[in-house]
Structure 1
């Protein structure tokens, strides 16, 4: 039984209002674990509720923009209102980091992001999209596969190995031919803990690569990431690392991290 199912069962005897909140939370956690979206039937299976009940919950959440339909018309995913709430929670860090992110993006000519841990997921809380014809646009506020993204791996490196296994489970989704398995991921996390740098070469999407650096702040560890088409990434990887180190120093100076 999943954690979401257990939570729903544990809340079954609570007063109606609290039970509705518990069920809505379970639905949102299920969607958070599946950023590509889930159908109503799949959500119902994840949370252990009737499809009709899930449909009513989704309708209420959609009205508040906490969930939204997947563009293909096949299911739902977390919505823009959640990204806005996360953004407001991290406003201080975002305001501190924004100028550095803009400078980094302008200097490299690539898109950059700022990420943090939220629950058991990594969330992009700010981004600067490169002003060029061929660029990568990363979605705001949505959880990305931690085992296959450079910022996800950077943030995973801040927790113990046992916790990594607990969060991700024993079988990691194979998204591309270069996606790491658990043992490969754990070995890479040890190197990230040593250097503070993480990279992902087409492990999440073919044609897209990224590198990240951990940034300590008064709100915990964050990751700054440069995302680029793989051809440019391979050509400029070393300069990306140098620029990320400079960006980290700028942000950490004002964000209270050590």
Structure 2
């Protein structure tokens, strides 16, 4: 049997889908507003979301009936519901397993060394790594620790924390690893501040001779501050720097599109 769908029916279906998507987006906006302001009134939620108060009242009613929001007896305003906690407890946020497919895709495009790192006790810790395909390469491995002040990932992690905390981590004196290493903590932070504007952090032979890298920060996963980098010998980096930068920014956008901006 052949089902014939008229043009009018297709238009109506399209409008319904658009309406459903809009309702979901508005419901998520309400949930985020309540998360940021527990006990908010309907008027406060409307102000924070830019939605009409009547729309907020309808959405709060629907979300409350599903247990996602609650109006607790004896407390004013709206609070997050226990159903959110139940659902959240079932989410296994493992950065390595979540990001490996995207890292493999990035590696197929670039071919050079890729490090996924976290900030751990003032150092850069490699938690996942894909080695370069090239004969001449920058070597890294899972579990390796790097200085925070002279590596691309380290600068990215410095850009993720408040300036006073970053300066405290750097201390008063920094070891010169190569002739290019910045040893003045204030100079390092000035560079970090400049890099933060574009979202890319660069090491030009500051940690090791003939080794360069570019990194970017990623949304937190499971409370971990993450950064990812591409490292390669200086001559190749000079040729492929713009490719590496574009690939990392695309990786971050893809991660956000896949998992959301706040994981």
TM-score relative to the length of structure 1: 0.62
Instruction: Number of aligned residue pairs: give it.
Output: 169
Alignment of 1:173-184 (within 5 A): 173-181=175-183, 182-184=185-187
For 1:239, the equivalent position in structure 2 comes to 243
Query: Which secondary structure does the structure 1 equivalent of 2:119 belong to?
Result: strand
How far, CA to CA, are the matches of 1:135 and 1:91 in structure 2? 31
How far, CA to CA, are the matches of 2:259 and 2:157 in structure 1? 17
For 1:141, the equivalent position in structure 2 comes to 143
For 2:208, the equivalent position in structure 1 comes to 205
Structure 2 unmatched runs, 5+: 1-91
* Farther off after superposition, 185-194 or 195-204: 185-194
Structure 1 unmatched runs, 5+: 1-89
Q: CA deviation at 1:91?
A: 7.0
How far, CA to CA, are the matches of 1:215 and 1:135 in structure 2? 24
CA shift digits 1:148-204 (9 cap, x unpaired): 100000011111222122112110110000001222201111112222110000000
How far, CA to CA, are the matches of 2:196 and 2:109 in structure 1? 27
> Do the aligned residues in 2 keep the contact of 1:216 with 1:257 (CA within 8 Å)?
yes
Going from structure 1 to structure 2, the CA distance change for 1:106 and 1:98 (only over 3 Å counts) comes to: same
TM-score relative to the length of structure 2: 0.61
How far, CA to CA, are the matches of 2:243 and 2:210 in structure 1? 19
Alignment of 1:52-71 (within 5 A): none
> Do the aligned residues in 1 keep the contact of 2:93 with 2:221 (CA within 8 Å)?
no
Q: CA deviation at 1:101?
A: 1.0
How far, CA to CA, are the matches of 2:245 and 2:216 in structure 1? 8
What value does the CA root-mean-square deviation take over the aligned residues?
1.7
